[in-house]
Structure 1
């Protein structure tokens, strides 16, 4: 009897895991969190990590064991720059970030782990390009004066709550110091998300 019960439980778990990965699904939610930004090191200056913020929305479409997760959020990035001449400057960037992530999820009964990777387009927001202009550039696929990164990450879902830790490796250089210098920005993000609804 105990063997039959254990076998039944294992079969139910296997069916649940398989259906969770095969049946197409859609989720949408909010996310917010903090980041640690760091410039790539050069011979002329060194940098230190400083905390920033991010907040926005995410969506996830899944099926056949994989999922596609586009996101849209505002990010504040802060870096301390120590120049060789002894001066210390603090650089701040605000951007509209658009990660396009491909990943997989394992788990059942509302608890699961996720692994993902993909490109991230970072559209600078400043006095000459506000949020509306940046969204227009996304729609027109106009990425002039913008930057790209590649994202690697993992997440944990518990019912409607999700926690994500990811690393963004800068692929293109971002200007600073009134456009006189440029460098790559690498970022660690820790975010908390909430699923508003799923289909």
Structure 2
């Protein structure tokens, strides 16, 4: 009985040590994804429909002892459908260079694992004017904004899959309270 308990404790300790990743890990890769955005606004707009945009970029991950930091850099096209108080319908496209810095942990053995991540995201506008189908009177958009992003992911050898939610913290417009909210699903490949 004592040998069985000792064997079980050794087995649990071995699994825990292998999970802890005592040696530093480093990965670099490319990613692409789809974003499903909506624009939340107080007062000026009645409605914001979710539209599909895209993301393309690169990521890196440095980890030790089961935790990691994952900075990313990608080009994003965020689309929203809007309806004004007067009932006009239109679409808006926000093009930006986004830089999230995610903190997370990975659970798994070897090349297969699951991740939980969260952190800030910094967005830098790439188009001089936000493009709107209708209405054309939208102006005064900021060149940068911040948000918070979090989600789950899976690693299968060199391939990664992520599901994330992004919530804008700063207003996009100088004169109104407008914040982006977005769900993204992305796939990536690590070459290091």
> TM tier, shorter chain?
0.7 to 0.9
Query: Could you say what the CA RMSD is over the residues aligned between the two structures, in angstroms?
Result: 2.3
Corresponding residue of 1:92:
93
Higher helix content, 1 or 2: 1
Q: Distance in 2 between matches of 1:81 and 1:174?
A: 15
Matched, 1:23 2:23: yes
Of residues 149, 157, 164, the one that matches 1:151 is 149
Q: Distance in 2 between matches of 1:180 and 1:172?
A: 12
CA deviation profile, 1:91-128 (whole Å, cap 9, x unmatched): 10100000011111110021101111110000000148
Instruction: Give the 3-state SS of the residue equivalent to 1:86 in structure 2.
Output: coil
TM-score of the two chains, using structure 1 as the length reference: 0.79
TM-score of the two chains, using structure 2 as the length reference: 0.82
Of residues 180, 184, 188, the one that matches 1:185 is 180
5+ residue gaps in structure 1? 129-143
Q: Distance in 2 between matches of 1:9 and 1:110?
A: 20
Instruction: Give the 3-state SS of the residue equivalent to 1:114 in structure 2.
Output: strand
Q: Distance in 2 between matches of 1:73 and 1:36?
A: 16
Shift of 1:84: 2.0
Q: Distance in 2 between matches of 1:121 and 1:181?
A: 20
Change (3 A) 1:127 1:83: closer
Change (3 A) 1:43 1:180: closer
Q: Distance in 2 between matches of 1:98 and 1:29?
A: 15
5+ residue gaps in structure 2? 130-141
Corresponding residue of 1:174:
172
Change (3 A) 1:65 1:12: closer
Asked if the contact 2:44–2:176 (Cα under 8 Å) also holds between the matched residues in 1, the reply is no
Asked if the contact 2:41–2:177 (Cα under 8 Å) also holds between the matched residues in 1, the reply is no
Corresponding residue of 1:162:
160
